[in-house]
């Protein structure tokens, strides 16, 4: 039988890097064109900028391993807000139109819960 548990910390690092890269990209794009983004989500521009900065800060924490559990919890809250908007405001199904449902958001919540539960693994800047 294979024992691959020695790969756990590497897998957690990869998970943190991938989740962080997605949130960093999202936050950057939202900041770059906050007018268009605020219109697309139906929120004020100031709130959109706040979300973008929060995504960038959360991404940095998750990637670098600095307050990674708090960063992951913050990103989970953002995703719960997105799910709430998709289900109750936009009436989007799990898979959504063109694959843009809340399944994506739930997948990222699952990834972030792993980071919360494991403290992101051994490869962090601030243990």
Reference 83, options 73, 72, 70, 96; nearest CA is: 96
DSSP state of 14: H
pLDDT above 90 (res 2) = no
- The pLDDT confidence band at residue 40, using thresholds 50, 70 and 90, is very high
Q: How far apart are CA 101 and CA 61, in angstroms?
A: 27
- Three-state secondary-structure class, residue 125: coil
Q: pTM here?
A: 0.94
Over residues 33-53, the mean pLDDT reads 96
Over residues 44-57, the mean pLDDT reads 97
Residues 57-69: pLDDT tens digits?
999 999 999 999 9
Residue at token pair 């939202």: 30
In this prediction, residue 18 carries a pLDDT of 98
DSSP state of 90: S
Please state, as a whole number, how many other Cβ atoms lie within 10 Å of the Cβ of residue 23.
27
Q: How far apart are CA 104 and CA 106, in angstroms?
A: 5
Reference 124, options 62, 59, 55, 56; nearest CA is: 62
Residue at token pair 């990209």: 25
């Amino acid at each position: 039988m294979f024992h691959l548990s020695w790969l756990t910390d590497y897998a957690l690092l990869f998970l943190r890097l991938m989740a962080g890269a997605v949130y960093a990209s999202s936050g950057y794009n939202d900041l770059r064109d906050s007018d268009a983004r605020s219109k697309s989500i139906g929120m004020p521009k100031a709130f959109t900028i706040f979300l973008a900065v929060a995504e960038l800060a959360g991404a940095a924490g998750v990637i670098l391993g600095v307050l990674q559990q708090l960063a992951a919890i913050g990103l989970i809250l953002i995703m719960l807000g997105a799910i709430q908007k998709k289900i109750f405001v936009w009436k989007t199904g799990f898979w959504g139109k063109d694959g843009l449902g809340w399944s994506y958001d739930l997948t990222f919540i699952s990834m972030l819960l792993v980071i919360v539960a494991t403290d992101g693994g051994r490869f962090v800047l601030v243990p």
